[in-house]
Every structure is written in C-alpha cells, then in structure tokens.
Chain A
Amino acid sequence: MAGRILVLLIVAVSCGCQSKNSAPPPQPPVATTSTVTVSAPPLEMRLGWVTGVCFATANKSIAPGSAITVVPSDEKAPVVEGRVVGATASDAICAALLQDRRKQNGSKWSFYELKLSAPVDLGIGVTGDTRPVAGGLDLNGDGAPEKFTQCASSEGVWFRVWSGPAYQGTPLWAGYYYLGYDTEVTCPS
C-alpha cells in the first residue's frame, strides 16, 4: 500500500461536500486538513456511518463489490470486513430511512447495503484500502491509529473520527444520524 502512495495531498475537508443540492450537513465542522493518497478519494467520500447492514455516506457513487472496513461502536468488538452490495432506498435495510427520519437522513446521505463478515449494530465504515497499524486504523497517513467515537445528542447519534484525543479539538470526520425521536444526551458538552 505504502509503495503506491505517490504524493500526499492536503485537501480541505468540509461537511458541506456531503451534498451539493440538499440541506445543511451535520456539525461540528471537520478538520480543515487531512492527508490522502492519489489512489483514494478524500476521507469524507470514504467514511460513513453504519447501522446493521446499511452504510450512509456522502459518496453517491460507490461501486458494488467495493471493500469496506467497519469499526463497531462497541470498543471491544473487532473490526469487521465486508463488501458493498449496492445502493438502496429500502427502510427494511436502512432504519435511517424509516418514515420518521427518511426526509432528514435521505436528503444528506447516500445509502448502501453491505455484506459483512460479522453482525454490526452501530459503527463507522471506511471504503477502500485501509492501513492497519498497531492499535487500529490509520486513515490520514501519520502512522498513528485514529479514534472512532459515537454518542447521542438530543435526537440523533454522532459518529466521529479523531486524529488526536477524542472530543478535543476538531474531528477528522463527523456524521450525524437523525433518529426522529428524543433521546438522552450522552455526547460530552
């Protein structure tokens, strides 16, 4: 993998890239810089949140058969490998598309069905090649594992990836799953 790295590009990463024609994307703002290889799309096009066998991502054109790695929200669970089956609009596959939440989630994310090697409840998915390092996955090429977090806000679940300590500074990536019902907040203030 490292041999295929031709150059590191500094790209502006913005939640605003998540949808060109739709509503405002989730907050908080993501990091202003990240590193990617020329062989992979920007991180916000590779990352998304997973519920069961459903992958929600800003990327509108993931090819069926694409590899995906899922980091479950359960910290004790191992990373799960899988493949993208294809795009879906089914609420039987994606709970995020159930009646109470379809408008909010559907206007901001594209949805794909997954085939995974093990069941996942909630998690963060990364398409394409990933770089395993001691302690996890390195997504920005700095040799250190990123931190993957999940917490509840008033009516949604926040998924975030951090290059530094969790909940300090700006996350490398953030995704918001609108639940359409009210929950108790677990996200740090």
Chain B
Amino acid sequence: MAVKSGIFWVTWANAHAQNSSRIEHLVEPFRSQAIAFIKALHDAGATVAVTATKRSVRRAYLFHWSWKIALGKCKASDATGIAGVDIQWDHGNDAASRTGANQMVTGFGLAVPPKSINAPALTSNHITGHAIDMDIIWTGTINVKDTLGKTTAIAFNGDVNANTALHAVGASYGVNKLVTDAPHWSHNGR
C-alpha cells in the first residue's frame, strides 16, 4: 500500500536507499581503474579519503520529485514511479501534496536556490557507478606512477581542480577529473 509523501520517506531513504562510499560498489571497468589510481597514490605517499561512490537511484528519485512538487515545478500527478518506492505523491489536493513534498525537501536538506529551475538529477555517473568523490592529500611533492609505469613528480596544490599533473595521471588510469567540483572524478570527467 502506497504511503503518502512526507517525512516518513526521509527516514525510509536513510534506512533503505543510502548512498555508498565503498569502491566495490562501482561498476567495472571503472572500479578497477579507480582502485589502481588510488593504489598508485597510496604507493606515492598520498592519503586518499573516499567520500562517495555509487548513489542510490531510489534516493535520487525521491530527491527529484519532492523538489519539483514542493517548488511547484510540476503537479504531484506528473511524478513517475520507480520500483521499490511505493510513494503516493498526490494527496488529493495541491496544497497537501506540496506540504508532503516540502517535508521531504527539508528533511533531505535539498538546496533551493532562488529562481531554481533545475531539480536534483535522476541520473548521473554516481548513480550508474561511474564516479567517485575523494580527497587526496599529501605534503610537498610525490612521485606517482601512471598506468604505464611512468613516474610523474606532482606538487601538492590546495586547489585540486587546478592540479593538472594529478589530473593527467588519473586520466591514464581512466579516472578523469571534473574541474568544477573538487572531490569528483569519473569515467568521462563529468
């Protein structure tokens, strides 16, 4: 039996639709590529802290539609369904539907910038298991081997988005930097 949108679904998602920070949840070949890149970084003396890998498609679904309905970007009846999430977005009237969705936006801590037109995405490299968020830290300069065994000296740069030498080594493993979001690497740089 469907459960109406509301705070229930925040609790539900936190228990049943969690995102992962485990590398083994990435898909091949990106998983092996990420593991190899991280090993090269470890071998060179860097500290790598993985904070996100595969994100839950069901969690993304709840983010997307709660955001759109709460902000009045669509009617509750417009929401599509997804397997494993028996949610009732339409409460029978617009005000109640928006109230339920808004409870979820607040509970999930979704950002609502002024003039927002773009809802949280329904799909992404994280959702398909092709992206990893990680902090890579070291002191001074380290020598990192690329996938061919060639060593590159890389100085630490507090702005990882600007550390093109690091990006090049990552790319040799098939792990490509997205330069707008500091922790984000993926199979295609997006």
Contacts and interface: CB of A to CB of B under 8 A. Distances in A.
Interface residues on B, range: 35 or more
Contacts of B179: 27
A185 B180 contact: yes
Q: Which of B51, B115, B120, B180 has the most CB of A within 10 A?
A: B180
A177 B178 CA distance: 16
Nearest to A179: B111
A33 to B, nearest CB: 17
Majority DSSP secondary structure for residues of B touching A: loop
B158 A154 contact: no
Contacts of A24: 135-137, 157-160, 182
Interface residues of A, number: 50
A183 interface: yes
Nearest to A94: B109
Interface of B: 14, 19, 21, 49, 51-52, 55, 59-60, 63, 108-115, 117-121, 123-124, 126-127, 133, 135-137, 157-162, 178-184, 190
20 contacts: A22-B137, A23-B137, A24-B157, A25-B159, A28-B162, A29-B159, A75-B114, A95-B109, A95-B111, A101-B109, A103-B49, A121-B113, A122-B111, A152-B113, A178-B183, A181-B60, A181-B120, A181-B121, A182-B123, A184-B118
